[in-house]
Amino acid sequence: MSRLKTIAFAASHVVFGLIGFLLATRDTGPAPRSPRATPSLSKNQPDGTRWIEKSSGLTHSLRPLKNWRGSEHVMAWNALCRAKLSTKDRIQTQRELLKSWAKVDLAAAMRAALDEAWDSDDEQHYNATGPLVDAFADAFASHPEESWDLIQNGGFGIGSSMLRQVWIQTIGTKAPLLLAALVKDLSPNDREMAVNVCASGTWYSLNKETQTKLLEQFAALPANIISSEQLADFLTMDPEEMGASALREELLHIQNPADRIAAAKAVVLGRLLAPAPTEEIAAAIADLPQPLKQDILISALDTGVSMTGEKLTSLLDLLVAENTWEKLGKRQVPGMLLASSRNGNARQIADWVTTIPFRKEATEMFYRGVETYLSDNMETSKEWIAAIPSQEWRDRAYATYSQGALNAKKDPTASRWALDHIQDPVFKSEAERWRLNWEKKRAIPSK
Amino acid sequence: MSVYKGIHLRSIFLTLTSHVIVLGLGYGIAQNLKREVDTQKEEAPLRTQSSNRSTDSTDGDGPELLAEFRKDFLQKKSRYEELKESLQPAADLRAAAISTIEDWENNRSGQDHIESESMMLVRFYHWLRVNPREAMEYLSAPQAGEDSLKSRELLSKLALNVLPDVAREKRVMKSIGWLTSNPVGILPLWKTLISEMKDGGGLALFLRVENELAEISKPWLEIGAEPHGREALRQAGASIQLSEKDSLLDYVKLQGETDRAINLLLGFAGTSDAAATWVLGLVERQELPVMVARRLQGGLGNEALKQNGMDMEKRIAARRFTDGNGKKLRENILGELVANDVRRLLNEGRDWRFEFRHGSASLDDILTSMEGALKIPDEGRDAAQIALYRTLSEENPEKALPLLDSLPEDRRREIMFSNTWQSYGNVNPDDFIAFVKKLPAPETEKEIQDRMKGWEWKVRGSLQRYGDDYIEWVAALPSNPDKYAAINSIIWATRERNPAKAAALNQRFYPKKP
């Protein structure tokens, strides 16, 4: 064989080898879509339908099921809309596909899930995160840190809140200490959920060691991140067994009343005392240090959210006397006053709110306290307002009257009468703005 | 053939063969490499970044892949089922079962919990099959767990599959004794009874079990005792054959006004339009004891809601029995019935909503199916179209709009504006805003109020579902009346739960001038 022939012979073999190699490595399915390409699952077509664009020319996958990549999942996912399944079967299949897909491309699977309807099509799978998103629970549990980063930075829009809920529920059950470490960085809503999940975990798993660690971890955080009420759920003692008097004794001898665990115990004492008559509560807290007194009273108030009438106002009198305004302002007191008013105590509640000192934290209590009485007595309450001793409260009663006239009675003339009685010019302009908002709402145009 | 020619052909043959071998070698090397990559991929950590490669996709292979996937997961057995088939019973069944408890206890939230739990379940299954009374006795005593909570949890795990599995094998009549030794056995007992009633046992089997249970005096055995009784009785009623209706009537007359009689009748009424019509006839002809008929009526109206095949006048008559419907206009009751039929068709039959959303089913497809599946009287046509619009508009508002074409213009507008609060519950907020944006400009006070109501109704649920993210979503909307309607609703809804936060939101969205 000549040299040239030898080269040609060798070269042709190399070429054939390469062809063989290329034939084998040719991708047999489409590549998984890019993070922004996957949302094109929802790309709006000219006729308004949402689906991935079609193309052709694919060969059959050679990969067995267990080796599926993103591309196979995309194809199977897209085929669902022509599979003519029942809603129940479709959702079941989607959930299984998502679980499998999440193992190879969590980001794409999450986008695909969020692209579907968020309500419960078959009314079987409804939960706060819709029918599909909780299918990621296992993926989150297997890779907590990576999945958390993805949820936070993946650009999932408002859908990320549902993903976060599933993550929090899952990790809170499987690895509460990991979740606890994140708590301080969460938004208030998520934080509340996270602490609740950790707490429920300690109830059912009865793992004292984890419970103690959680208590330590949470007690180290400031009260604006985790409240004493939340902390109380992690106490390792059984308050029911311990009883109110033993707990009171313990708190009497507490070394450092600012200690967060002492505050959590005070919360528990408040819960135990809540059903007792107000005089008994007053007697039980009399000798205790000031901050703990406040915690106990606030906790009694939180426990008795459905209390009404005298029981409610007498407990509030104790809270006012203890100067608990900061905490009181954050409670549902306005809602409790409103509920009590609507429950046949409108005049008693309205009278009581005029007795509290005028201050910022009390204004919402005042508004909700007088609202029902004023709206139900548009004529006779005019005299009642005029007799309120404090000018600040009187002005606010006129403003509430105006709002009632507008919203409940659709009576702008009565509203004007009330607004014109307000004496403080600064507050009057605020009350006028409320009226303006009402007018704007009524004049809502289309776009 | 000349010698030369022979050599030449052989040479060509050898060359071709060698090329094919090399080609095959290349292919083989690549396949091996690929297998390695795939194996590595399986072991690779979670991929949280989608590939940036973007190729056109297709559903060319999709249907096959989907069928393969579905076949696989539908055949997939739980670990409990697998072990039940493969694990040989131990020589000492009791000791083997008890020895699994500790492992199950220690792994309850660990990675191996499925394995340890399944092992525990199967070991108890083995023991229960051979000696159910002894096993139940052990499980009911405190030694089964360190404390009563663990003991209860252990039993409730077994009650889910193991107890019904054993009862199914032994048949319900032979399982009453051991299942009734602990309250946890009641649900498995019902489960087994209902399944055997469906398989042909019918009312006769129910009566035999009832007689047997009457001999045992335990508080939890009162048939119909809450919490499970009502639902269980309804299901038992739903397992009675139409041919047994006369025996059922005899039984009910004998029973008088009991939960048992009423729930069995209601369950039975739900099985078919013929059964519902028959039960309604008993009430109308006053064949039932007065108190039974009175207690039955409300529930019967609800059953009629589900029976599209029933005569419309009979359905309306039955509906009138339910609370608040007595004096309702006939056309309103008819409208509710038809709307409910449409919703049921969309929720329980083929996945029309999903197909409509993704464009694989057209309005015509759905209307044709509706015509074929439902009996809709002429006077109910508008109600059917409106119900269809309210549901399908959530999937694709523009494509659903022609459903309102046959209505007078003012009615059409009324449906569109009230759709803001009557539909779009729990949907993606982006879908809701897209719908609201396409509404025509409101022209009446009612239209303004409806649109406002839409926001008020959405905000409460959305705050609960999306939390603070929803507030940010609203804050990012363009400044227009919809945004302020949403903000005002957020502030009002927040004020009820957290006045301080509501005040902060008020300040954020309506800052006070210095």
Nearest to A160 among B33, B441, B469 (CB): B469
Residues A264, A322: one domain?
yes
Residue B431 DSSP class: H
Say what the pLDDT of residue A229 is. Answer: 87
Give ∠ CA A364-A367-A370 in degrees, rounded to 5: 145
Tell me phi and psi for residue B218, to 5 degrees: -140, 140
For the question of an ipTM over 0.90, the answer is no
Report DSSP letters for B380-411, one per residue: GHHHHHHHHHHHHTTT-HHHHGGGGTTS-HHH
Distance CA A121, CA A318 (A): 51
- Coil, strand, or helix at residue B350? strand
Residues A314, A374: one domain?
no
A356: closest CA among A330, A393, A387?
A393
Residues A232, A213: one domain?
no
Which of A218, A251, A277 delimits the end of a domain?
Answer: A218
Handedness of CA A345, A346, A347, A352 (dihedral sign): positive
Residue A358 DSSP class: P
Distance CA B27, CA B1 (A): 36
> Is residue B284 a contact partner of residue B259, using CB atoms and an 8 Å limit?
no
The residue in chain A having the minimum alpha-carbon distance to the alpha carbon of residue B352 is: A87
Nearest to B50 among A105, A364, A441 (CB): A105
Chain A interface disruption, residue of B11, B34, B48, B112, most A CBs within 10 A: B48
> Do the domain assignments include residue A116?
no
Conformation bin of residue B13: beta by default, left when phi > 0, alpha when psi is -120 to 50: alpha
Report the gap between the CA of B285 and the closest CA in chain A (Å): 37
Mention every residue, 6+ apart, whose C-beta is less than 8 A from residue A346. A372, A373, A376
> Do the domain assignments include residue A343?
no
Residues A71, A36: one domain?
yes
The residue in chain B having the minimum alpha-carbon distance to the alpha carbon of residue A333 is: B499
Distance CA B509, CA B514 (A): 15
Nearest to B69 among A45, A59, A76 (CB): A76
Residues A321, A361: one domain?
no
Query: Tell me: the pLDDT tens digits for A366-425?
Result: 999 999 999 999 999 999 999 999 999 999 999 999 999 998 888 999 999 999 999 999
What is the domain count for chain A? 4
Place of tokens 């007799």: A387
Residues A98, A79: one domain?
yes
Report DSSP letters for A38-102, one per residue: GGGGGPBPTTS-B-PPP---PPPP-S-GGG--HHHHHHHHHHGGGS--BHHHHHHHHHHHHHHHH
Tell me phi and psi for residue A305, to 5 degrees: -60, -20
Residues A241, A326: one domain?
yes
Question: Chain B partners of A77 at a C-beta cutoff of 8 Å?
Answer: 62
Distance CA B441, CA A38 (A): 35
Nearest to A55 among B53, B56, B466 (CB): B56
pLDDT of chain B, 514 residues: tens digit per residue: 443 444 454 455 455 555 555 555 544 444 444 444 443 433 344 555 444 333 344 457 899 999 999 999 999 999 999 999 999 999 999 999 999 988 887 776 666 788 999 999 999 999 999 999 999 988 887 665 555 556 777 888 999 999 999 999 999 999 999 999 888 898 899 999 999 999 999 999 999 998 898 888 776 666 555 545 788 899 999 999 999 999 999 999 988 777 888 999 999 999 999 999 999 999 999 998 888 888 888 888 888 888 999 999 999 999 998 877 888 899 999 999 999 999 999 888 889 999 999 999 999 999 999 999 999 999 999 999 999 999 999 999 999 999 999 999 999 999 999 999 999 988 999 999 999 999 999 999 999 999 999 999 999 889 989 999 999 999 999 998 899 999 999 999 998 778 888 999 999 999 875 4
Low-confidence spans in chain A with pLDDT less than 70:
1-62, 121-126, 201-207, 237-241, 257, 443-447
> Do the domain assignments include residue A396?
yes
Residues A167, A244: one domain?
no
Distance CA A112, CA A133 (A): 10
Say what the pLDDT of residue B18 is. Answer: 54
Mention every residue, 6+ apart, whose C-beta is less than 8 A from residue B143. none
> Do the domain assignments include residue A89?
yes
> Do the domain assignments include residue A252?
yes
CB contact under 8 A, A17 and B395: no
> Do the domain assignments include residue A189?
yes
Residues A135, A201: one domain?
yes
In the structure encoding, which two tokens stand for residue B222, read together? Answer: 């009162």
Which residues constitute the domain of residue A322? 227-331
Nearest to B23 among A16, A47, A161 (CB): A16
- Coil, strand, or helix at residue A120? coil
CB contact under 8 A, B357 and A50: yes
Which of A201, A218, A235 delimits the end of a domain?
Answer: A218
In the structure encoding, which two tokens stand for residue A344, read together? Answer: 């046949």
CB contact under 8 A, A90 and B468: no
Residues A379, A423: one domain?
yes
> Do the domain assignments include residue A322?
yes
Residues A250, A287: one domain?
yes
> Do the domain assignments include residue A433?
yes
Say what the pLDDT of residue B110 is. Answer: 60
Say what the pLDDT of residue A49 is. Answer: 32
Which of A171, A190, A218 delimits the end of a domain?
Answer: A218
Say what the pLDDT of residue A183 is. Answer: 93
Residues A212, A232: one domain?
no
Question: Chain A partners of B56 at a C-beta cutoff of 8 Å?
Answer: 30, 53-55
In the structure encoding, which two tokens stand for residue B33, read together? Answer: 């490499």
The residue in chain A having the minimum alpha-carbon distance to the alpha carbon of residue B149 is: A204
Say what the pLDDT of residue B384 is. Answer: 95
